[in-house]
Structure 1
Amino acid sequence: MGAARPHRHARMGDTELGDAVARARGGDEAAFGTVYRELHPMLLGYLRGLIGDDADDIASETWHDVVRDLHSFRGGGQSFRGWTAAIARHRALDHVRRGRVRPRTTALDDDTAERVAARTSTRDSEGAALENLSTARALSLIAELPRDQAEAVLLRVVLGLNGPMAAEVLGKRPGAVRTASHRGLRRLSERLKDAEEK
């Protein structure tokens, strides 16, 4: 863990993202580019956590749907993150059903890893534990969690959704998602402590 840390990109605030989405809805291509650059790495990380190597294809399908339906979207930055995550999740689940592919994980790209680490560094000890992992190792540990915990961690930590928005994406109560996320992060922290003691 003594290796130099790469420069981290700060996540765009929800107000700033909401403004960019509103401009994109009005036809501003540069604003859509801003939205895409902000969300795509996180969306790709979330999809890789769900379906592994096929994430790029599903992300492309997701962005196709986002562009097609952007005119009908109403809401701010957090709502847009949730709306995009819901589209991605439905596309990923359809992909799994179509191909009967077992969900698997692969390494996140460096940009996604930097954004995840930047968000977890100010949260709690469980979140900070994730920051100290390599991306591949973190995704491997997340894949070992029960599905509800793994998906809650991916939505909350990788995509940065709040509890109510993650609950909406998953079709669950916010308390259930917060609990699953907390349990998942706690379990990851415990596994890391065990690994350090060995």
Structure 2
Amino acid sequence: MGAEFDAALEAARGGAAEGVAVLWRALNPALERYLAALVGQAAQDIASETWLQAARDLPSFRGDAAGFRVWLFRIGRNRAIDEQRRAGRRREELLAEPGEFAGAAPDAAAVAEERWGTDRALALLARLPREQAEAVLLRSVAGLDANECGRILGKRPGAVRVAAMRGLRGLAAMLEDAAILEEEPAHESSSADVVSGVFR
């Protein structure tokens, strides 16, 4: 984050749409990748809700560029948690009252989620304990440091570092197992490189 971001933040705080646009271009791609790991197909909708809330609350925000990034990701995380709760309730309602489509074939979105690339990385991350997966995402995908991650997750920086390290080791083990199963040589790149590369 440089001087342009700081200037955009000040402009956005004053109500300038151009400032918000600069912030959005700088942070939305990483925000959507993070949210995709939490809420899947709903990531874009949750990102939009996050930006709407941020734009509404921005005049009362006090902090610098790094603080804004933490604040934005915290809003996104809270929105994602709300979405997970809503999805859980919807799932319970569907199970309680099966409709006429209960036996239908999986839709295209479900099929697409099984493909390689981002979906494979999300599937691997989903196998990690939640705190490890979020730490890896925030560190490797969003590019936040341990202090910033700690402020989002409500944990000490040391705990975030440990969770991210354990998560990356877990991913490395899963990737190695997958390579052995596929009878392919394991890649030389680290699991952090793999995760951040897949989500670009």
| 1:142 positional shift | 1.1
1:188 aligns with 2:176: no
| 1:28 positional shift | 2.6
Q: Is the 8 A contact 1:14 1:78 kept in 2?
A: no
Moved more, 155-164 or 133-142: 133-142
In structure 1, how many angstroms separate the alpha carbons of the residues matched to 2:16 and 2:81? 31
Structure having greater relative contact order (Cα 8 Å, sep ≥ 6): 1
Q: What 5-or-longer segments of structure 2 have no aligned partner?
A: 92-109, 184-200
Q: Is the 8 A contact 1:59 1:88 kept in 2?
A: yes
Aligned equivalent of 2:146:
163
| 1:16 positional shift | 4.0
Aligned equivalent of 1:76:
64
In structure 2, how many angstroms separate the alpha carbons of the residues matched to 1:192 and 1:95? 30
Q: Is the 8 A contact 1:15 1:76 kept in 2?
A: no
Task: Give CA deviations for 1:3-41 in whole Å, capped at 9, x if unaligned.
Answer: xxxxxxxxxx25543332122112332221111011111
Aligned equivalent of 2:97:
none
Aligned pairs for 1:95-174 within 5 A: 95-100=83-88, 134-174=117-157
Moved >3 Å (runs of 4+): none
- What is the number of equivalent residue pairs in this alignment? 159
| SS of match in other structure, 2:176 | helix
* % identical aligned pairs: 49
| 1:93 positional shift | 0.9
Q: Which amino acid aligns with 1:49?
A: A
Aligned equivalent of 1:9:
none
In structure 1, how many angstroms separate the alpha carbons of the residues matched to 2:177 and 2:88? 35
| 1:134 positional shift | 3.0
Output the TM-score relative to the length of structure 1: 0.72
Output the TM-score relative to the length of structure 2: 0.72
Task: Give CA deviations for 1:89-111 in whole Å, capped at 9, x if unaligned.
Answer: 11111122233168xx987xxxx
Q: Which amino acid aligns with 2:142?
A: L
In structure 2, how many angstroms separate the alpha carbons of the residues matched to 1:99 and 1:14? 38
Q: Which amino acid aligns with 2:68?
A: F
Task: Give CA deviations for 1:148-186 in whole Å, capped at 9, x if unaligned.
Answer: 101111111221111111111111111111110111112
Task: Give CA deviations for 1:65-88 in whole Å, capped at 9, x if unaligned.
Answer: 100001111222221111001101
Structure with higher Rg: it is 2
Q: Is the 8 A contact 1:17 1:76 kept in 2?
A: no
Q: What 5-or-longer segments of structure 1 have no aligned partner?
A: 1-12, 108-132
Aligned equivalent of 2:42:
54
Change (3 A) 1:19 1:71: same
